[in-house]
Amino acid sequence: MENTVANNIVFETHNYSGNRLKKHLKRIFFIEKLYNTTGIIMLIIVSIIIGAGSAFFGIVFGIALIAAVVAFPLLYSLFVYPKFGIIILMVMSYMLFVLSQFGIDGPVGTLMDGLQVLLTFGTLAKIKADKNWKIFKNPISMVVLLWLVYNLVELVNPIGSKMAWLYTVRPVAVVTLSYFIFMCNIKSVEYIRLIFKIWLVLTIIGAAYAFKQEYIGFNQHELEYLNTPGVADLLFIDGHWRKFSIFSDPVAFSYNMVMPSIFCICMFLLPLKPWKKIVLALLIPFFLDAMLFSGTRGANVLLPAALFLFAILKYNKKVLLFVCCAAMLLVVAIFIPTSNPTLYRFQTAFKPGKDASYNVRKINQKRIQPYILSHPMGGGLGSTGVWGQRFTPGSYLASFPPDSGYIRVAVEEGWIGLLIFCIYMFVIIRSGIKNYFLIEDPELKTYCLAVTLIVFAYNLANFPQEALVQYPSNILFYLWVAMINITLRLDKQLKQERSKILQLSV
């Protein structure tokens, strides 16, 4: 009994002391805001640390200190507020290659991986706390997991390099997991609107910078890059430099001009204010004109293909008239005589037989077919390209140029991997079309149509080029895939809310 009383007294004393400490700290930091003796002492200590650090370590200490001050609140915000993290991820995916313009040549790719891993952990913690496992119970989530698992299984490929697999699977796995980040954290129409607005602003910046490169010229850092051995062979065509804007290469730049053009066309289905429709109408030729500066033939066929599917899914007289007019303009642009190298390169995209580079790719693809058929799991992740030349130099695949997302999958992951990848794409596009017809809300229905057409265009783009490996396309692809499910989920929520309102009114 005496021990119990003594323990209670100790506990109450401790609790009282804790409350006093909290009140004391609250008064010092929040009420007086360090305008007191404690604040002066802390200021003196911090000043001494900064002065001594700068004296001994120079500017490096100052940069490290600023980075630490910014990093901790930023990391906390990314983990606790994933919506903020998604916006940062989008912006960083566009600005990744701009950082090198300011002399920041560090491991920025690793920084993006770390950002996505942090968001993934935050998302998993949220899923576990809410016990919301429903995001995995749909066809798209199933095939995304299947594709991720198969890439992990490639580790046991007996003829593949383990080190090449390690370097290749890291970005593949991390980027694939971003699908679940988007699925879990995008929960409102307002947030979807914000994402689309930020995306359009970033795209406008990219297009404007391409005009700068075309009519004003490259900056010093870009000129140094263009003078790198081998770069001119790829980017200097018919006396004209291919433009890449703020992106990694002309291919990534061109595809990121086509996709927002498709989105802008779809937005005309909504009852928008006249000034918004005028802005959208001006953005479409702005993006497409910038796209031509890239000199990427594969990008030219994407918009007509997307419009063809658009006409099928949204069949009515207005859409049919619009598509017919667009088709007539396309025919004129393809067959009109021209001496303009940019327009001529555009025309050759629709005449592949006259394109020397396309014929070379056909020969390479024919040559590699026996290898694909005889290797069900392929040569292993990273067996071609840069990692192949680094980890398996002199091998048959190390010098093979895939020049196609589908061919790379077939070569590195075999015909089994190619089959899984085709099923993966089919399920995503099929789900997009199905969800489009299921959704009733006009705005969400239009968003679903737009992202489905964009995913369809990416799928086509992945055949002539590797469309899904570079930032920001890899991040945006999984964002749009997630949107296919998110729009249907939000539409169901809206139906439930309307049903409840009707029940209450009755």
How far apart CA 397 and CA 411 sit, in angstroms, is 8
Mean pLDDT of the 268-275 span: 91
Confidence of residue 466 (pLDDT cuts 50, 70, 90): confident
290 DSSP 8-state letter = H
Question: What is residue 160's predicted lDDT score, i.e. its pLDDT?
Answer: 85
How far apart CA 3 and CA 202 sit, in angstroms, is 68
Angle between helices 250-267 and 302-313 (to 10 degrees): 30
How far apart CA 254 and CA 53 sit, in angstroms, is 47
Angle between helices 82-95 and 162-185 (to 10 degrees): 130
Task: Check pLDDT > 50 for residue 122.
Answer: yes
How far apart CA 126 and CA 133 sit, in angstroms, is 11
How far apart CA 294 and CA 255 sit, in angstroms, is 10
Question: What is residue 10's predicted lDDT score, i.e. its pLDDT?
Answer: 44
Mean pLDDT of the 433-452 span: 95
Tokens of 170: 């890291």
Question: What is residue 98's predicted lDDT score, i.e. its pLDDT?
Answer: 79
Please report where in the chains the tokens 């093979």 appear, as a residue: 400
Tokens of 24: 């004391």
Name the least confident of 76-80, 211-215, 216-220, 422-426: 76-80
How far apart CA 29 and CA 230 sit, in angstroms, is 59
Question: What is residue 5's predicted lDDT score, i.e. its pLDDT?
Answer: 46
Coil, strand or helix at 240: strand
Task: Check pLDDT > 50 for residue 9.
Answer: no
Average pLDDT along the chain: 82
pLDDT tens figures, 354-401:
666 667 777 878 888 888 899 899 888 888 888 888 888 888 888 888
Backbone angles phi, psi at 201, to 5 degrees: -65, -45
Question: What is residue 161's predicted lDDT score, i.e. its pLDDT?
Answer: 86
Alpha-helix runs per DSSP H in 131-188? 139-153, 162-185
Looking at the whole model, is its pTM more than 0.85?
Answer: no
Backbone angles phi, psi at 61, to 5 degrees: -65, -45
- Provide the β-strand partners of residue 240: 237
* Domain ranges within the chain, ordered by starting residue: 78-496
Mean pLDDT of the 122-129 span: 78
Task: Check pLDDT > 80 for residue 48.
Answer: no
Backbone angles phi, psi at 237, to 5 degrees: -120, 125
Task: Check pLDDT > 70 for residue 51.
Answer: no
Coil, strand or helix at 426: helix
Angle in degrees, CA 349, 236, 262, rounded to 5: 40
C-alpha distances in angstroms, 177 versus 168, 182, 256? 15, 9, 22
Confidence of residue 456 (pLDDT cuts 50, 70, 90): very high
Tokens of 61: 């200490």
Question: What is residue 62's predicted lDDT score, i.e. its pLDDT?
Answer: 63
Task: Check pLDDT > 60 for residue 4.
Answer: no
How far apart CA 369 and CA 362 sit, in angstroms, is 11
Task: Check pLDDT > 60 for residue 13.
Answer: no
Kindly report the length of the chain: 506
Task: Check pLDDT > 80 for residue 433.
Answer: yes
The more confident residue out of 418 and 391 is 418
pLDDT tens figures, 322-340:
777 777 777 776 667 766 6
Task: Check pLDDT > 80 for residue 49.
Answer: no
Question: What is residue 249's predicted lDDT score, i.e. its pLDDT?
Answer: 87
How far apart CA 199 and CA 454 sit, in angstroms, is 13
Q: Are 368 and 336 in contact (CB under 8 A)?
A: no
Q: Are 377 and 413 in contact (CB under 8 A)?
A: yes
Question: What is residue 108's predicted lDDT score, i.e. its pLDDT?
Answer: 64
Confidence of residue 124 (pLDDT cuts 50, 70, 90): confident
pLDDT tens figures, 273-319:
999 999 999 999 999 999 989 888 888 889 888 988 998 888 777 77
